[in-house]
């Protein structure tokens, strides 16, 4: 929502800034950072009309693209011959530079397209052609698959310890190779090898999806790895497919047998094709991985590793023939999101001998991944690594909050010099590593923390003059990294690690500031729709491993909220179109559950999960009625559905759901709002929902906002949970209570955002008091120290303090607002955002008696800049004074309409 600050403001003419910048000479404009479906040079996509985007690099102020021309060819060389072009747009009069659809000839499987473009500015001058980029399709038709699903005959799904199957085959290449692609998937997890090399850098492939409906396959270019004689093989792991996942000891949730699917297509220089595919001629055995579970960890006996198994000439006579199995190809789909990879390495910061005598290494950061172990010893010696997030108040290793997750990696030495070990099919959430059985004394260099997560590109930064708030921002980003591991999990350490929809919903806007999450959420939202039940109910976790449990308000509304937030952040209209049936089905589910009075008060909901009052019985007044929350979200999702319907051209639906949302609002007011503007649940969450979701009559908004403010003053702190917390500060600041919002942000005592920081937190906690001031812990049954939901305050840091706000009418930052706010004792704040168009900067600082504000607006965009407390005749822009003598009058809340460029404003502080 756009706050009242943006209403009825007088803009300063752009002409003035044209005068300031008119002397810039030799401006240069180029086009770069070409992407296809949010990826650079993707291989193996299955989008039939892929979207192309680019960024403009220009030192010309006020640059707007007036036209573009894209050309596409089957080879890079073909781009420079009109006769060899596959498709050309010709010169298109448009400023669009994000998500331009390919409209050329229908794409075929395994087809690579090279593309480049040039653009024109408003001066009519064209740029040079960009450097070429490419995209390549995967297998687009089910009939393209020639391979067979294969399983190991010794793979015992009922055994307590299930060794990982190894599979292999050999083949010859007799002719000159032009290109080679391998298409691979698995039931379970796979690690593919070719000629002694791991293929690709991806981890946890094929990824976690709603396996009964969608299984991803990956495509790799292996041209450079092929030789005359070759060995192709894979190791499989249980992973999410049949491992221990969910609660109550769920195993074999999706299936009993692990299986592999591989299809290698080799194109020779003479035009012929050879296909090597998984089938009955493959061999299978076991190796060093005796067991590997996501929750429990991995046991690796290096003595059992079949040396050279992935090289040609290996003696596999003792291996068994694989078992072909029947499994559909219809569910295979190419990945849309980024792969999981090892992103960062961390060295230990301290070695601790605990009071109980344990040797523990402190990595200095609550992280997600594993430890790379370096060890030298005798054959059969066993090194055990155990993982924990915290030490207890006595300084001992603490794992009670992991519940049943063993989180243990065991390495059994082969006794051959220095041995290096990393697990393959498990991960842990941890800061502390307990080392048992190490030969001699482990040194710092013997352990290396390997940080893994989906390969998200960083896009945002926020910093200010308060070091605790800066640490909070770092914790938010670490929490996002650790929990964005192919799906947005709630936590990465205990026996859960599931894609809770409520957590993702409330955090999604913050997520889109910190990292590029467009393709990540595109992938996950497809699973939200896939697991949605026929009656429209959205499951509580996605992928659903809780047997269809769902329909909780604020959780299931993820069906609308995340696509809407992705549309706002990236201007992505397609995600609205693709997800629309799912959105509509969820709103209709709510309509059916609410009944004729449109009040949804009967069903069970999580409510304002883990709100202050739910763990403090002394404060029952802070408990928000679940029917109020459910009806509020019913209104909000109906309202969003109406707006989305308008955007994608469904006018009848837009009118229908617009009227529905208004009727729900009336029902809400009648049931939950007194004539004086007081809510029947007199809580911070109730007022925040009512204000943020436009559930109040206009004349009662100020009164309800004052009730919210009074409640915050009365408690002196927040009382909100998962649903209220993301809305609290904005609900205060949008209605004139910014000092209270800053008070909440700055508070260091429990409950607050900064309390965990003062306790040494390096990620966001699940509970406000996961660790109490005396060092004791909250309920061990639910006490994660890496749980990003409360990190949703990050959106307020970016949008209010730094002031970078989306314009709904021009999504994706084509036009945006820069409206920073001082306060809270801060003397400096800066945010940067790498938007779909380029870098946005909003930076203010107070130096002595002067306020300085620096902004950067990327090419092909514009911004409305609103300067805080600067309605003065002493305002300067890039050193040039603005005053009535310039013919420009400035009133309160100065508003400037600016094109691309860098600008610095200054004015007297405190005015």
Catalytic residue among 60, 191, 389, 496: 496
> In the structure encoding, which two tokens stand for residue 241, read together?
């497919």
Look up 496 and say whether it is catalytic.
yes
Q: How many CB atoms lie within 10 A of CB 837?
A: 24
Closest to 476 (Cα-Cα) out of 762, 754, 824: 762
**Cβ atoms 188, 259 nearer than 8 A:** yes
Residue 445, exposed/middle/buried by CB under 10 A (0-12, 13-18, 19+)? exposed
DSSP conformational letter for 679: B
Our CA angle for 420, 422, 426, nearest 5°, is 165
Closest to 375 (Cα-Cα) out of 306, 290, 445, 433: 445
Query: What is the Cα–Cα distance from 186 to 79, expressed in whole angstroms?
Result: 37
Beta bridge partners of 447: 373
- Show the 3-state SS of 487-556: EECCCCCCCCCCCEHHHHHHHHHHHHHHECCHHHHHHHHHHHHHHCCCCCCCECECCCCCCCCECCCCCC
In this structure, the chain runs to a length of 911
> In the structure encoding, which two tokens stand for residue 816, read together?
């945006």
Q: Which long-range contacts (C-beta less than 8 Å, at least 24 apart) are formed by 24-29?
A: 24/59, 24/60, 24/61, 27/58, 27/59, 27/60, 27/61, 27/63, 28/58, 28/59, 28/60, 29/56, 29/57, 29/58, 29/59, 29/60, 29/63, 29/119, 29/121, 29/127, 29/859
Beta bridge partners of 215: 332
**Cβ atoms 333, 216 nearer than 8 A:** yes
Q: Which residue is listed with tokens 């209709």?
A: 588
Query: What is the Cα–Cα distance from 187 to 168, expressed in whole angstroms?
Result: 17
Q: Which long-range contacts (C-beta less than 8 Å, at least 24 apart) are formed by 652-660?
A: 653/584, 657/587, 660/587, 660/591, 660/598
- CA quadruple 604, 606, 607, 612: dihedral positive or negative? positive
257-273 b/e (C-beta count within 10 Å ≥ 16 → b): bbbbbbbbbbbbeeeee
End-to-end Cα distance, the chain: 27
Q: Three-class SS of residue 837? A: coil
Query: What is the Cα–Cα distance from 752 to 754, expressed in whole angstroms?
Result: 5
Look up 662 and say whether it is catalytic.
no
**Cβ atoms 145, 170 nearer than 8 A:** no
Distances (CA, A) of 494 to 402, 776, 864: 4, 19, 46
Catalytic residue among 455, 766, 832, 843: 766
**Cβ atoms 825, 746 nearer than 8 A:** yes
Residue 93, exposed/middle/buried by CB under 10 A (0-12, 13-18, 19+)? exposed
> Which positions are catalytic?
496, 766
């Amino acid at each position: 929502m756009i706050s009242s600050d943006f209403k009825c403001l007088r803009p300063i003419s752009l002409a003035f800034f044209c005068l300031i910048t008119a002397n810039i000479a030799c401006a240069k404009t180029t086009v770069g950072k070409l992407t296809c479906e949010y990826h650079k040079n993707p291989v193996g996509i299955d989008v039939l009309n892929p979207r192309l985007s680019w960024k403009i690099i220009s030192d010309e102020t006020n640059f707007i693209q007036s036209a573009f021309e894209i050309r596409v060819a089957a080879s890079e060389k073909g781009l420079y011959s009109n006769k060899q072009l596959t498709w050309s747009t010709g010169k298109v009069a448009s400023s669009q530079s994000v998500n331009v659809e390919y409209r050329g000839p229908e794409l075929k499987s395994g087809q690579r397209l090279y593309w480049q473009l040039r653009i024109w500015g408003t001066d009519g001058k064209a740029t040079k052609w960009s450097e070429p980029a490419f995209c390549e399709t995967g297998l687009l038709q089910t009939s393209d698959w020639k391979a067979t699903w294969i399983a190991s005959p010794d793979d015992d799904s009922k055994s307590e310890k299930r060794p990982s199957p190894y599979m292999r085959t050999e083949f010859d290449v007799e002719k000159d190779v032009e290109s080679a692609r391998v298409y691979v998937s698995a039931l379970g997890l796979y690690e593919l090898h070719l000629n002694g090399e791991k293929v690709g850098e991806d981890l946890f492939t094929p990824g976690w999806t709603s396996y009964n409906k969608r299984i991803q396959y990956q495509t790799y270019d292996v041209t450079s790895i092929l030789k005359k004689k070759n060995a192709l093989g894979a190791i499989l792991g249980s992973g999410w497919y049949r491992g221990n996942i969910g609660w109550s000891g769920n195993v074999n949730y999706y299936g009993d047998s692990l299986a592999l699917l591989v299809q290698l297509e080799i194109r020779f220089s003479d035009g012929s094709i050879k296909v090597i595919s998984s089938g009955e001629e493959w061999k299978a055995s076991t190796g060093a991985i005796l067991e590997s579970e996501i929750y429990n960890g991995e046991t690796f006996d290096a003595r059992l590793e079949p040396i050279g198994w992935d090289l040609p000439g290996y003696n596999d006579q003792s291996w068994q023939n694989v078992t072909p199995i029947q499994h559909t190809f219809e569910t295979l789909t190419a990945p849309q999101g980024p792969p999981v990879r090892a992103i960062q390495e961390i060295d230990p910061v301290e070695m601790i001998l605990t009071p109980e005598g344990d040797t523990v290494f402190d990595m200095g950061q609550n992280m997600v991944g594993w430890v790379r172990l370096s060890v030298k010893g005798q054959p059969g010696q066993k090194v055990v690594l155990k993982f924990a997030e915290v030490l207890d108040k006595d300084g001992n290793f603490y794992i009670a909050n992991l519940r049943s997750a063993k989180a243990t990696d065991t390495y059994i030495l082969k006794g051959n010099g220095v041995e290096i070990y990393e697990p393959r099919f498990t991960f842990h959430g941890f800061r502390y590593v307990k080392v048992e059985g190490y030969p001699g004394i482990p040194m710092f260099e013997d352990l290396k923390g390997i940080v893994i997560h989906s390969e998200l590109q960083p896009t945002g930064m926020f910093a200010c003059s308060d070091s605790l708030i800066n640490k909070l921002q770092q914790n938010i980003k670490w929490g996002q990294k650790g929990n964005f591991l192919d799906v947005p999990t709630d936590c990465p350490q205990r026996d859960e690690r599931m894609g809770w929809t409520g957590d993702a919903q409330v955090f999604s806007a913050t997520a889109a500031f910190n990292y590029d999450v467009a393709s990540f959420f595109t992938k996950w939202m497809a699973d939200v729709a896939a697991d949605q039940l026929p009656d429209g109910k959205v499951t509580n976790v996605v992928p659903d491993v809780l047997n269809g449990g769902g329909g909780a308000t604020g959780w299931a509304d993820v069906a609308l909220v995340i696509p809407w937030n992705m549309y706002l952040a990236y201007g992505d209209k397609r995600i609205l179109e693709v997800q629309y049936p799912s959105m509509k089905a969820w709103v209709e589910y709510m309509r059916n559950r609410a009944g004729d009075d449109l009040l949804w008060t009967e069903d069970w909901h999580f409510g304002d999960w883990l709100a202050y009052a739910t763990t403090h019985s002394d404060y029952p007044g802070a408990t928000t009625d679940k029917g109020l929350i459910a009806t509020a979200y019913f209104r909000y999702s109906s309202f969003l559905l109406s707006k989305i319907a308008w955007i994608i051209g469904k006018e009848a639906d837009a009118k229908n759901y617009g009227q529905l949302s208004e009727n729900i609002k009336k029902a809400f007011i009648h049931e939950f709002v007194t004539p004086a503007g007081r809510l029947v649940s007199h809580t911070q969450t109730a007022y925040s929902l009512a204000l943020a979701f436009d559930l109040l009559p206009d004349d009662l908004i100020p009164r309800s906002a004052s009730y919210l403010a009074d409640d915050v003053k009365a408690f002196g702190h927040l009382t909100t949970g998962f649903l209220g917390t993301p809305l609290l500060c904005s609900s205060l600041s949008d209605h004139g209570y910014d000092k209270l919002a800053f008070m909440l942000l700055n508070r260091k005592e429990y409950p607050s955002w900064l309390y965990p920081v003062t306790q040494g937190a390096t990620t966001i906690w699940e509970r406000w008091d996961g660790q109490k001031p005396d060092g004791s812990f909250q309920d061990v049954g639910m006490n994660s120290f890496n749980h990003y939901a409360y990190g949703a305050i990050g959106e307020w840091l970016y949008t209010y303090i730094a002031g970078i706000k989306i314009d709904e009418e021009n999504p994706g930052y084509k036009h945006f607002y820069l409206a920073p706010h001082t306060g809270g004792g801060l003397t400096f704040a800066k945010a940067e955002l790498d938007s779909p168009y380029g870098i946005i900067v909003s930076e203010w600082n107070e130096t002595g008696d002067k306020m300085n504000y620096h902004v950067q607006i990327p090419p092909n965009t514009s911004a409305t800049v609103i300067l805080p407390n600067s309605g003065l005749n002493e305002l300067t822009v890039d050193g040039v004074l603005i005053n009535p003598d310039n013919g420009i009058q400035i009133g309160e809340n100065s508003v400037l309409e600016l094109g691309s460029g860098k600008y610095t404003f200054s004015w007297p502080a405190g005015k």
